[in-house]
Structure 1
Amino acid sequence: MKILILGATGNVGSRTMKHALEAGHQVVAYVRRPEAVSDAKGVQIIKGDVQDSGALAHAAEGADAIIVAITGAVSDGSFMQRAVPDIIQAAKTADVKRIVMVSAFGAGDTADKAAWFMKLAYRTVLGKFFRDKAASDALLEQSGLDYTIVYPVNLKDAPASINAVAKPLDQVDKVPGMPTLPFTNVAQELVKIVADPESIGQRILITTAKGWKAKR
């Protein structure tokens, strides 16, 4: 596949770029600062802003899929809502139907599955950030594109864990405690998900093996 990655200089996006290359995909990184892209051998780098839908559409020409791994500051309550409409428009202009977007566990109704203390944080201290995520997730769901939205649990910079799991949210009853995964695990799952047609139209939790409870 030819995959356009947005957020290739970030914690998740940079690792997704690496794993996509290792999986044999052709990778294009669309970034504001090309000099910040690390381990870029074999990657086509295009400079641009995600809110420039024309330039983004040009970068997406010929791509089979777009992976969106961008995020705003915790204090910015509208970054994703500003960016996602331009991303959707660019995808449609370039005739790229497949799009996988990284959200965050705690956005919207996913918070209902969290432990009470995490649910409180998601809706109060971090409320502005997670409301923005939820609103932009809804925009993508309504776009008509072949979307998948991914909801990772808390993330950290550490070697990959072997116990990560990806589960459709409609199979998940609860996410107990505060499970934490390395960024690399999310990147690995994204590369699998983008190539999996069964994931189209799904919202998927990425967590630890013990960081979820199934619905009965």
Structure 2
Amino acid sequence: MRIAVLGATGRTGRAVASAALAAGYEIVAYARRPEAVVRSDGVHAVAGELDDLGAMTAALAGCDAVIVALGVKATHPNAPVMRTAMRTAISACRAAGVRRIIVLSALGVGETLASTRFPYRLVVRTALIAPFRDHVAGESLLVGSGLEWTTIHPGLLGDGPATAHPLVADGAAGRPAPRWPHTERADVAAVMLRVIDDPATFGRRLLVLSVPQAS
């Protein structure tokens, strides 16, 4: 399987690429700075901006799926990263004939806010309000796009080892998450790859937490 990864130079994107390579997948790393992509057999770095439809379409040619693992820099919290990326990615997927797209989101974005509790919910409504609004704007474009999409909603991200059985739940169900929800990037990567061929996850928002069950 050939997978395009947007955001492959970030910590979550690198975790996704590493897990995908370990699973025997071929990776197309689409990045503004291809020199920052971790080089390895099976990884093809492609230069391009998030708003460059031609470059992204060319990068997606021959891919079976796209994983979007982008994040907003703390120094630019108001940057329209997801609005820009999703508009281009959706058009590029259509042009390249790619139907499957999995997008990194966050717990508290959109309807998953119902699963949050104090004090994390306070942080979502204050410090994270700008990037979360950008996520909502970008992810809303997936609905009605005709693509087989899934959004992944982790808690606060960490770089620890993978959890044996991370909690994966329907984000629309309003299942209470821990007060300070935590998710390892390794778990995000594992779940993204696990659901890549699962039609039951198409059009779904999935909570991913590094706990055996919410508490």
User: Partner of 1:12 in structure 2?
Assistant: 12
- Tell me the distance in 1 between the aligned counterparts of 2:212 and 2:173: 14
- Partner of 1:195, secondary structure, is coil
1:92 and 2:94 are equivalent in the alignment: yes
User: Partner of 1:47 in structure 2?
Assistant: 47
1:83 offset after TM fit, Å? Answer: 1.9
User: Partner of 1:169 in structure 2?
Assistant: 171
User: Partner of 1:69 in structure 2?
Assistant: 69
1:3 offset after TM fit, Å? Answer: 0.8
AA at the equivalent of 1:65: A
- Tell me the distance in 1 between the aligned counterparts of 2:24 and 2:113: 36
- Partner of 1:13, secondary structure, is helix
User: Partner of 1:25 in structure 2?
Assistant: 25
1:115 and 2:128 are equivalent in the alignment: no
Which sections of structure 1, spanning at least 5 residues, go unmatched? Answer: none
User: Partner of 2:37 in structure 1?
Assistant: 37
- Tell me the distance in 2 between the aligned counterparts of 1:93 and 1:29: 18
| CA 1:17–1:133: 2 relative to 1, 3 Å | same
The alignment's TM-score, normalised by the length of structure 1, stands at: 0.92
User: Partner of 2:180 in structure 1?
Assistant: 178
- Partner of 1:141, secondary structure, is coil
User: Partner of 2:201 in structure 1?
Assistant: 199
1:8 offset after TM fit, Å? Answer: 0.7
1:172 offset after TM fit, Å? Answer: 4.4
- Tell me the distance in 2 between the aligned counterparts of 1:212 and 1:141: 28
Aligned to 2:134, which of 126, 129, 132? 132
More moved, 16-25 vs 165-174: 165-174
AA at the equivalent of 1:49: E
- Tell me the distance in 1 between the aligned counterparts of 2:175 and 2:189: 24
1:77 offset after TM fit, Å? Answer: 4.8
CA deviations 1:97-149 (Å, max 9, x no partner) are 11000111111221121012211211122111111111211111231211011
- Tell me the distance in 1 between the aligned counterparts of 2:79 and 2:142: 17
1:182 offset after TM fit, Å? Answer: 1.7
CA deviations 1:123-178 (Å, max 9, x no partner) are 12211111111121111123121101110111112222224122222344211211
Residue 60 of structure 2 contacts residue 92 of structure 2 at CA under 8 Å; is this kept in 1? yes
AA at the equivalent of 1:204: L
AA at the equivalent of 1:80: M
Which sections of structure 2, spanning at least 5 residues, go unmatched? Answer: none
CA deviations 1:84-103 (Å, max 9, x no partner) are 10111111111111100011
1:103 and 2:92 are equivalent in the alignment: no
AA at the equivalent of 1:181: T
Once superposed, what is the RMSD of the aligned Cα atoms? 1.6
